[in-house]
Amino acid sequence: MADLSALAPRVMCLGEALVDRLGPLGGDPVTAAPESCDDRLGGAPANVACALARLGTPVGLVGRLGEDSIGSAFRDLFQQRGVAVQALQRDVSHPSRVVLVRRHANGERVFQGFAGDHALGFADQMLNLGELEAVWPMVSKQARWLLVGTIPLATPTSADSLQWLLAQAQAASLALAVDVNWRPTFWDPEADPAAGPTADALAVIKPLLEQASLIKLAREEALWFFGSDDPAAVAKDLPQQPDVVVTDGANPIRWFIEHEAGSMPVFQPSQVIDTTGAGDAFTAGLLHCWDRPVNERLYFASACGALVCSGAGAIDPQPQEQDVLTFLNR
Predicted local confidence at residue 32, as pLDDT: 76
Contacts 24+ apart (CB under 8 A), 203-209: 204/153, 204/159, 205/150, 205/153, 205/180, 208/148, 208/150, 208/153, 208/162, 208/166, 208/178, 209/178, 209/180, 209/238
201-210 per-position pLDDT tens digit: 999 999 999 9
308-326 per-position pLDDT tens digit: 998 877 899 999 999 999 9
Sequential DSSP letters for 60-122? EEEEEEESSHHHHHHHHHHHHHT-B-TTEEEESSSPPPEEEEEE-TTS-EEEEEEES-TTS--
86-130 per-position pLDDT tens digit: 999 999 999 999 988 877 766 567 777 888 776 789 999 999 999
**Mean pLDDT value of segment 278-303:** 96
Is residue 228 helix, strand or coil? coil
The pLDDT of residue 260 is above 70 = yes
Predicted local confidence at residue 120, as pLDDT: 82
Of 29-33, 44-48, 235-239, 284-288, the range with the lowest mean pLDDT is: 29-33
21-74 per-position pLDDT tens digit: 877 777 777 777 777 788 889 999 999 999 999 999 999 999 999 999 999 999
Predicted local confidence at residue 156, as pLDDT: 96
Predicted local confidence at residue 27, as pLDDT: 74
The pLDDT of residue 213 is above 60 = yes
**Mean pLDDT value of segment 134-157:** 96
**Mean pLDDT value of segment 270-287:** 89
Rounded-to-integer distance, Cα 302 and Cα 281, Å? 8
What total of structural domains would you count in the chain?
1
CATH number of the domain enclosing 45: 3.40.1190.20
**Mean pLDDT value of segment 291-298:** 96
Contact 59, 4 (CB under 8 A): yes
Task: Please report which confidence band the pLDDT of residue 147 belongs to, taking 50, 70 and 90 as the band edges.
Answer: very high
Predicted local confidence at residue 218, as pLDDT: 96
Predicted local confidence at residue 311, as pLDDT: 84
On average, the pLDDT of the chain sits at 92
pTM comes to 0.93
**Mean pLDDT value of segment 4-20:** 86
Strand pairing of 214-218 and 175-179?
parallel
| Residues near 154 by beta carbon (within 8 Å), at least 6 away in sequence | 125, 186, 187, 201
Predicted local confidence at residue 37, as pLDDT: 83
The pLDDT of residue 259 is above 70 = yes
List beta partners, residue 11.
59, 145
Under DSSP, the state recorded for 311 is S
159-201 per-position pLDDT tens digit: 999 999 999 999 999 999 999 999 999 999 889 888 999 999 9
Predicted local confidence at residue 163, as pLDDT: 97
Contact 87, 139 (CB under 8 A): yes
**Boundaries of domain holding 132:** 4-329
Predicted local confidence at residue 20, as pLDDT: 87
Predicted local confidence at residue 34, as pLDDT: 76
**Mean pLDDT value of segment 70-88:** 97
